[in-house]
Structure 1
Amino acid sequence: MLFNNKTQIFYSNLPLLGQKPSLQGVPEVAGVWRIHWQLGETTLRSTFYTQFDQICLLWGILSLIIFTTAQFSPISWTTQAVWWTMVSLVGAIATHYLTPAWFRKEGFGWVIDLWVGLMLLGTLISDLGIFAGWGLVLMNLCPLWLGISGIGYFQTAWGMRSRTLLLIAGLHFAAIAALPWVMDWQFLFTGLILGLSGVILAEFQWDAFGGPCVNQFKASSKTHP
C-alpha cells in the first residue's frame, strides 16, 4: 500500500511545497511529461509533470482562460456558456483519462470522481443561471466557483491528509469574503485564485502522502520497467 500511515491526520513532517526531484533522477514512466530546454550550455527549463500535475495544470489554465474571458471579453454570456460547457466536459473526460490506475486501486478514486462531479455541478448551475436568467446565480458566479473549488480542496485535503490542500481550501473561502473589495474585478480575481492554485500544485511537489510525484514513480516503475 502506498498510503499505509493511518496514525497521522496530516503529514506534518513533510514540507507544504518543495522542489521537484531533478529530472535526471526521474525514471522513464508512462504518462509523465519530461521537459528539458537548453540553449547551448545554458539550461532554460528542466522539469517534469506527472499525470496529477497535468490534471492540476489543465484545470488551472482553463480557469484562468474562462474567468479572464468573462472579465474582459464582449462575447455574450450565452455564447460563453456554450463554449465553456464544452470545454468543461472535455476537461472532465481528460481528468478521468489522466488518472493513473494505481490511484484508484489505492482507494482514492473518489477524489477524481468528487472533482469531476463538482465541476459538472458548477457548470450545470452556471448554465441554468445564464440561460434561465436566474439573477441570484448570475450575481454570485464568482462565490459559486470559489465555494465549489474550496469544498473540493477541503474534502481532498482531509482524505489525503494534506496541509497544502487545506491551506488552498482556506484561501478559496477567504477569497469569497474578499470579493466585495475587488468590486468590478471579481472575475479576474476569481480566475487568478482558481488558476494559480492549480498551476502551483503542478509546478511544485506538495505534501500529500509523501509527495504524489514520488509515489507515482514508485508505483509506475514497478509495472513499467
Structure 2
Amino acid sequence: MNFFNVDEPLIRKKQEALDVQDLQGLWRLRWRIGRVSLLSLLYTRIDQVFVIWGWITGLIFVTAQFLPLSWQLQAVLWSVLTLTGMLGMSTLAWFWVRVEQLCWLVYVWVGLMLVGLSLTNCGIFLHWGQVLMQLCPMWLGLSAIGYFCTGWGMRSRTFMLAGVLHLLGIAVLPYSAQWSFATTGAVIAGTLLFLAEVQWDMRPPSATALLTIEQQQFNREQYQRRLTK
C-alpha cells in the first residue's frame, strides 16, 4: 500500500466537489459581465491561511529588502503581525485540522514561527551577529521543516516538494548577493500564494466522530467525484 495517494495528481485546477470541512467558511469570488464569467475563484479556510501568510511574509521580506526602516522598528511591527497571523491561522484552520485529525500540524507551525520570531528578535535586540547573517536561510529552513511535517501528516507529495523548494532556496541564497531578502520572500510568499490557487494531493477523507454518518458519506462521494474529473 502506497503511503502517498498516487490516485491524485500533485496539483490540478481547483474543483468544486469539496468536503464538509472545506465548505465551511468557503469564499467564492465571481466576476461577471452579463452572462459571461470573467473570473471565478474559491478559497477554503486553508487557502485563506495560505493567502494571509503569503501577504504577511511578502510584506515582511520586501520591506526588509527595499525600505529604510530600522531593524528595531521592523522587529516590533513584524512580531505583532506574525502573532496576529498565528492567531488567524489557528482560528481559520482549527475545524479543518480537527476533522482531518491533524491538530498537531497547527502546533508544529506555531512552534516553528515562535522559534524563528524569538531568534530574529534576539538577533536584532541582543545584537547576535551570526543570527542576523543567517535570517534568510533560517526562515527558509523553518518553512521547509513545516512543509515536510505537513506533507507527512497529509500524505501529500505537493507539500513535500514545497519543502524541497525551500531547501533549494537556501542553496540559491549565496548567489543572490544583496537580494537575499527579496529572494527569500519570493520563495516563501510565492509558494503560499501558489498553493492557495491550486488543488493539491492528500490522503482520502478521514472518518471522524466530529462528522455525522451522512457527512462522512458525503465526503466519500465528493472524493470519488474528484477522482473522476
Query: What's the TM-score once normalised by structure 2's chain length?
Result: 0.85
1:192 aligns with 2:220: no
The answer to whether structure 1 residue 222 and structure 2 residue 199 are counterparts is no
Indicate whether 1:116 and 2:110 are aligned.
yes
Residue 91 of structure 1: aligned partner: 85
Counterpart selection for 1:146 from 119, 140, 157: 140
**3-state secondary structure, aligned to 2:31:** strand
Q: Distance in 2 between matches of 1:27 and 1:144?
A: 36
Deviation at 1:8, TM superposition (A): 2.4
SS in 1 for 2:203: helix
Amino acid paired to 1:17: I
Instruction: Identify the residue that residue 174 of structure 1 maps to in structure 2.
Output: 168
Q: Is 2:98 the partner of 1:104?
A: yes
Q: Distance in 2 between matches of 1:64 and 1:102?
A: 25
How many corresponding residue pairs?
211
Q: Is the 8 A contact 2:51 2:193 kept in 1?
A: yes
Structure 1 residue identity aligned to 2:215: K
Q: Residues 70-103 of structure 1: CA distance to partner in whole angstroms, max 9, x if unpaired?
A: 0000010110010000000000000111014252
CA distance in structure 2 between the aligned counterparts of 1:104 and 1:27, rounded to whole angstroms: 14
Corresponding residue of 1:3: none
What does the per-residue CA deviation read over 1:19-73, in whole Å, with 9 as the maximum and x for residues that have no partner?
1115xx6699331111111123332210110011011111111111110000000
Question: Residue in 1 aligned with 2:222?
Answer: none
Once the two structures are TM-superposed, the CA of residue 196 in structure 1 deviates from its matched residue by 0.9
Q: Is the deviation greater in 31-40 or in 174-183?
A: 31-40
Task: Give distance in 1, aligned partners of 2:160 and 2:47.
Answer: 18
Using the size of structure 1 for normalisation, the TM-score is: 0.86
* Matched letter for residue 159 of structure 1: G
The answer to whether the 8 A contact 1:205-1:211 is kept is no
Equivalent residues in 2 for 1:64-83, closer than 5 Å: 64-83=58-77
Q: CA deviation at 1:122?
A: 0.6
Contact 1:14–1:210 (CA under 8 A) maintained in structure 2: no
Which one-letter code corresponds to 1:146 in the other structure? L
Distance 2:99 2:198 in 1: 25
